[in-house]
Amino acid sequence: MYCDMALYDNHGRLINYVRLAVTDRCNLRCFYCMPEEGIDYVPRQELMTFEEMEHLMRILSEMGIEKIRITGGEPFLRKGLMSFLYQLSKIERLQQINITSNGILTAPYLPELKKMGIQSMNLSLDTLDKDRFYKITRRNDLDKVLETLEQLLKYGFKTKINTVVMNGKNIEDIIPLIELTKEKPISVRFIEEMPFNGSGQHYQKLEWNYKKILSYIQKHFPAITKKEDPLFSTSANYAIKGHKGDFGIIAAYSRTFCGTCNRLRLTPLGLLKTCLYDKGIFNVKNMLRVGANNEQLKIAFYSALGNRAKNGFEAEKQRGLDFPISESMSSIGG
């Protein structure tokens, strides 16, 4: 674990991926992620600055991190994002920078992102229907998201659509979303809804788990075949004969993939999470602001990874009083 270029946790899992949430602000209000109003945004001075983030990404890349996903809130709302991405693109040991976006402000930036060498984007899209889009996101912006999808394909980005599957909200969209993959080289990934909506109120039982989603799809497309999943994939992936794209299912609530989890998370506040379900291990930004040097930061990262929960269930148990979970996914990054 202490070698220069490979980072392992106490369960022997390789850690080479960071999800960095650059803001907790958003221009949508997806009900499974954020309340409609009364949101406690992180005060600006408490947000990590881009300089701090770049510094941390350099340190983490020296420790073995090879891949970063920029997320949020909505990353394109944060001023200065493009210059930050440009700085990140110069970190030699980082092999991949990817972005997750809701697609509202994204399209005009695509040519510049391409020039920086950013090649893939995850676009969140839960429905193809205007009314349902409004009910889910509380905004009327479906056209902008669809335009971003077209532009992503035009510029040749490797494009994944993230769809949260919600009982009574977008089940009728599952098949039309898969149908998009017939002519378009996109991967649609259906995600189990997780309890991070910022309200602390949750369903008693997850209605649409990964098994139910798969069997629903199989009824419509009996000839689907299982694909070999890439290393560290959180999705189980499937192909449909004759389709240019494919689809996957992410058991985000059932947590079937913890055994190969290779990721860390940094929240906009600077909290390090070694599991999506933990409540934050320590605040990296606070350490930086009281003058911690690189060695001290590295020791803190190693120590967090040396005590990492075995899986999301264990991490959730360790939350103690913060149960049911009151966090919003916009302050974690997904």
Give me the residues that bind ligand SF4 (CB under 6 A), please. 26, 28-30, 33-34, 72-74, 102, 124, 329-330
The item of ligand SF4, ligand SAM, none sharing an interface with residue 113, based on CB under 5 to 8 Å by kind, is none
- Only one of the segments 47-55, 61-69, 135-143, 191-199 lies at the binding site for ligand SAM (rule: CB under 6 A); that segment is 191-199
Q: Please, where are the H alpha helices in 6-67? A: 50-63
CB atoms within 10 A of CB 305: 21
Instruction: Give CA–CA dist 334/207, Å, rounded.
Output: 20
Of 193, 278, 316, 327, the one binding ligand SAM by CB under 6 A: 193
Give me the torsion for CA of 208, 214, 220, 223, rounded to 10°.
180
Question: Hey, what are 130's tokens?
Answer: 């205007």
Distances (CA, A) of 269 to 21, 39, 41: 9, 15, 10
Q: x/- binding map, residues 12-31, to ligand SAM, per CB under 6 A?
A: --------------x-----
In the complex, minimum distance from the CB of residue 331 to ligand SF4, in angstroms, rounded to a whole number: 9
Q: What is the pairing mode between strands 158-165 and 120-124?
A: parallel
Of 23, 98, 124, 170, the one binding ligand SAM by CB under 6 A: 124
Distances (CA, A) of 95 to 117, 186, 213: 10, 22, 33
The item of ligand SAM, ligand SF4, none sharing an interface with residue 29, based on CB under 5 to 8 Å by kind, is ligand SF4
Comparison of 16 and 328: residue with beta carbon closer to ligand SF4: 328
Question: Hey, what are 24's tokens?
Answer: 């907790």
Of 16, 23, 101, 262, the one binding ligand SAM by CB under 6 A: 101
What residues are paired with 239 via a beta bridge? 225, 246
The item of ligand SF4, ligand SAM, none sharing an interface with residue 278, based on CB under 5 to 8 Å by kind, is none
* Binding status of residue 71 toward ligand SAM by CB under 6 A: yes
In the complex, minimum distance from the CB of residue 124 to ligand SAM, in angstroms, rounded to a whole number: 3
What residues are paired with 44 via a beta bridge? none
In the complex, minimum distance from the CB of residue 62 to ligand SAM, in angstroms, rounded to a whole number: 27
Of 252, 266, 275, 288, the one binding ligand SAM by CB under 6 A: 252
The item of ligand SAM, ligand SF4, none sharing an interface with residue 141, based on CB under 5 to 8 Å by kind, is none
Which DSSP string do the residues of 239-301 spell out, in sequence order? EETT-SSEEEEE-TTTT--GGG--EEEE-TT-EEESSTTS--SEEHHHHHHTT--HHHHHHHH
Comparison of 170 and 181: residue with beta carbon closer to ligand SAM: 170
